Amino acid sequence: MPLLGAHMPTKGEPASALDAAYHLGCEVVQIFVKPPIQWTAAPITDAAIMAFSNARQRTNLKMVIAHAGYLVNLASARPDVLLQSRKAILDEMHRCHLLGIPYLVMHTGAHLGIGEKRGIQRLRESLHWLFDRLPLIHPVSLLLENTAGQGTCLGYTLGQLAEIVEGLPNDRVGICLDTCHLFVAGYELRTNESVNELAKLIENTISWDRVKLLHANDSLHPLGSRIDRHWHIGEGHIGLEGFRCLLSHPKFSQLPVVIETPEPELHHSENLQRLRTLFETN
């Protein structure tokens, strides 16, 4: 069984998310390293770093991952937003480094009307801007997350993701695949045949070497709708059979799995249990 866990709220203290994840039986946890709807935040204190380190030892979680803030758009056509986004990601990577977090998941951004080609070009320029300001060997890697294709969002096809990461080192930029986003972007997941085809397509575009994480979320909206709304495992349009097909595949079943389903305090436990049951019966 792969590592299984959830995105957990920090409530202002990153260490608290680790304790909450431990009590849910998680082996992996995803957190925000600063408030997700703020450009800036107070520096992480030495006390917070020590509390986080102690929580990791106490909980013995196998993996901790961070998710970048929602304001970030590294493909923005607005110079002010673009610079703020670049600085924000640089800061979040630094925070991850201080906390010993190896991966920072980041949305690929939106072109906001300048077109997908120019948007992808701007995103790649932003990635190079970041790497120019980081040591050649840096302990934190970015994981670009596929999107639902809502609005002008980029990265909703595997081909676009491949174009974005082309030529960039694997140890600097990887991929996080989100099941809800894949599904509403038009990738069928509900049969063994379709999952096999998807796995082949991943290998022929981004390559499996790039894929480091799976966000397991059901979808409130149907296949190809391009509407991003996560839902509870087995209760959306992907359904339990879809997750069974996906998680029984030898490639997908090796990835660490994180849920980002609604109302975590009420439903994370049951959503995790549904996935555990699928793994145990495969």
Q: 205-264: per-residue pLDDT in tens?
A: 999 999 999 999 999 999 999 999 999 999 999 999 999 999 999 999 999 999 999 998
Tokens of 279: 């793994």
Q: How many CB atoms lie within 10 A of CB 218?
A: 25
- Please give the model's pTM, rounded to 2 decimal places: 0.96
Tokens of 220: 């409130």
Tens-digit pLDDT profile for residues 162-205: 999 999 998 999 999 999 999 999 999 999 999 999 999 999 99
84-88 contacts at long range (C-beta below 8 A, 24 or more positions apart)? 84/39, 85/109, 85/126, 86/126, 86/129, 86/130, 88/39, 88/40
How large is the average pLDDT for residues 76-103? 96
Place of tokens 């072109």: 111
Angle CA 131–175–44, to nearest 5: 55
Q: Please choose, from the candidates 187, 186, 184, 185, the residue with its C-alpha nearest in 3D space to the C-alpha of residue 196.
A: 187
Query: Which one-letter amino acid corresponds to residue 27?
Result: E
CB 67 within 8 A of CB 5: no
Domains by residue range for the chain, with CATH = 4-281 (3.20.20.150)
CA distance linking residue 44 with residue 41, whole number of Å: 9
